[in-house]
Chains A and B, each alone.
Chain A
């Protein structure tokens, strides 16, 4: 269950999958827009967060998925230290070399010098991100952690070429990076969606995606919804572990795909919600 200390926040979210969360500051602008929308999940006066998540997977070997933003090395490193309990970090896998995801890469590699850096195989400019020497992974690849097995399915919704999603096959968890994120409020940090009292409805998902996936405003909605429907089939029953929201248990995940289809239709019709 939840373990929170003054030195970092983390917990087992599913067996062998630990969660390190950076909530960042209160997002007043988004809170205003949530209130104006008449949403009932947000209590005025609460702080509202759009988090960054990193996940540590511990089988016989260990793998860290993303590193939080450069503002949170002081959260990530002590949390790692405690979760690893003296074991080595074997792999650091980056979803994509974007600052809020990869911001502590160098610090982690300095602290764990034998750790293998793992990066998406897609894209052509790895050298411009210090990723030329990384182990490159794609949909054909699997890393056996001993008790846990991770794969690297194509990132269906992505911002730049060097990008991958990840799945863990024993717990059936899909790590969706920038997709399926949503804000949470005071009291909801480090909780899964089945552990909070409020709903994650279309409007709540839209607050995130209408900003981060600004390009939904230019799409043919049917193309996006077809891709989402295909994911719903391919990953039926998988829990979802986004980088900017709370983890969603597999038993509850199915309706989220349809909610995302509504988000896309709405943003395509009314434009981007702003900037994150």
Chain B
């Protein structure tokens, strides 16, 4: 299977990794921009060959012309050197306080608040309320209205539910997948005030209403399902804060 289209020239190239209690997605997204294909994050070295094959397929062999990197964490950045060997020294647009320290000396740096042009497409660079590394950014693609959220909005899924969007995951266990993901991935949530996090997320969604929310570690969430995801997330944050 190649990539799953979300419309607006964006497709989901899903990969996942088995954990004890379920699968975690470690995906990437492809964006067809006027001047070439943009890859959102680079995926894990663990899936390198498959990702490379699937991206070649999806781009009719042309490969990618740029990567927009959410943060330097290895499962997001691990394929950058290999993909540059495959497809040339294309542009890396990265959020990173200090590019050298993050091992990305060749990157073009983006900052929170920027509106940046990548291969002819405009992205708004946002301050993520849910992240692990402090230099993480989310981006909103104005053309497709898709919000790319890196380590935010994740959900663990059952084996076999690897290629369906969030709204089609069986309801039985879905909220638990949201809880499990956050409990294990963002350890600082144990100190968080759920209301403060949820308020920041609601404000962002109001400002940048997404046709899809596109996480790396979960299935994409369609506009019609966002309210249900937010309700599950709010419950998950409350449970984590109480534990």
Residues of A within 8 A of B (CB): 24-25, 52, 69-71, 97-100, 103, 123-125, 127-130, 157-161, 163, 211-215, 217-220, 223-224, 227, 272, 275-276
**Interface range on chain B (Cβ under 8 Å from partner):** 35 or more
In contact, B44 and A128 (Cβ under 8 angstroms): yes
Determine chain B's interface SS by DSSP, over half rule.
loop
Contacts of A125 in B (CB 8 A): 17, 19, 24, 75
Picked from A25, A130, A276, the residue with its CB within 8 Å of the CB of B134 is A276
Is B62 positioned at the interface, with any CB of A under 8 Å from its CB?
no
In contact, B191 and A128 (Cβ under 8 angstroms): no
Query: A211 and B187 in contact (CB under 8 A), knowing A127-B17, A218-B196?
Result: no
In contact, B74 and A218 (Cβ under 8 angstroms): no
Contacts of A124 in B (CB 8 A): 19-20, 24, 184
Q: How far is the CA of A159 from the CA of B72 in the complex (A)?
A: 13
Is B193 positioned at the interface, with any CB of A under 8 Å from its CB?
yes
Query: A99 and B200 in contact (CB under 8 A), knowing A24-B98, A214-B134, A215-B192?
Result: no
Q: Output the nearest chain B residue to A157 by Cβ-Cβ distance.
A: B188
Picked from A69, A98, A128, A214, the residue with its CB within 8 Å of the CB of B75 is A128
Q: Output the nearest chain A residue to B237 by Cβ-Cβ distance.
A: A218
Contacts of B173 in A (CB 8 A): none
Q: How far is the CB of B24 from chain A (nearest CB, A)?
A: 7
Q: How far is the CB of A270 from chain B (nearest CB, A)?
A: 13
Query: A98 and B101 in contact (CB under 8 A), knowing A159-B188, A219-B191, A275-B112?
Result: no
In contact, B111 and A99 (Cβ under 8 angstroms): no
Query: A24 and B100 in contact (CB under 8 A), knowing A218-B193, A219-B192?
Result: yes
In contact, B134 and A158 (Cβ under 8 angstroms): no
Is B133 positioned at the interface, with any CB of A under 8 Å from its CB?
yes
Is B132 positioned at the interface, with any CB of A under 8 Å from its CB?
yes
Find residues 30-76 in chain B having any chain A CB closer than 8 Å to their own CB: 44-46, 72-75
Q: How far is the CA of A34 from the CA of B72 in the complex (A)?
A: 27
Query: A52 and B134 in contact (CB under 8 A), knowing A128-B74, A220-B192?
Result: no
Q: Output the nearest chain B residue to A210 by Cβ-Cβ distance.
A: B134
In contact, B72 and A276 (Cβ under 8 angstroms): no
A-B contact pairs, 19 of them (CB 8 A): A24-B100, A52-B101, A69-B101, A69-B102, A97-B74, A99-B103, A125-B19, A160-B73, A160-B132, A161-B184, A211-B97, A211-B134, A213-B188, A215-B192, A217-B196, A218-B197, A219-B192, A220-B193, A275-B134
Contacts of A272 in B (CB 8 A): 127, 134
In contact, A128 and B17 (Cβ under 8 angstroms): yes
Q: Output the nearest chain A residue to B72 by Cβ-Cβ distance.
A: A99
Q: How far is the CB of B177 from chain A (nearest CB, A)?
A: 14
Is B105 positioned at the interface, with any CB of A under 8 Å from its CB?
yes
3 A-B pairs closest in CB distance: A70-B103, A71-B100, A160-B132
Contacts of A220 in B (CB 8 A): 191-193, 241
Contacts of A224 in B (CB 8 A): 191
Contacts of B185 in A (CB 8 A): 160-161
Q: How far is the CA of A222 from the CA of B17 in the complex (A)?
A: 37
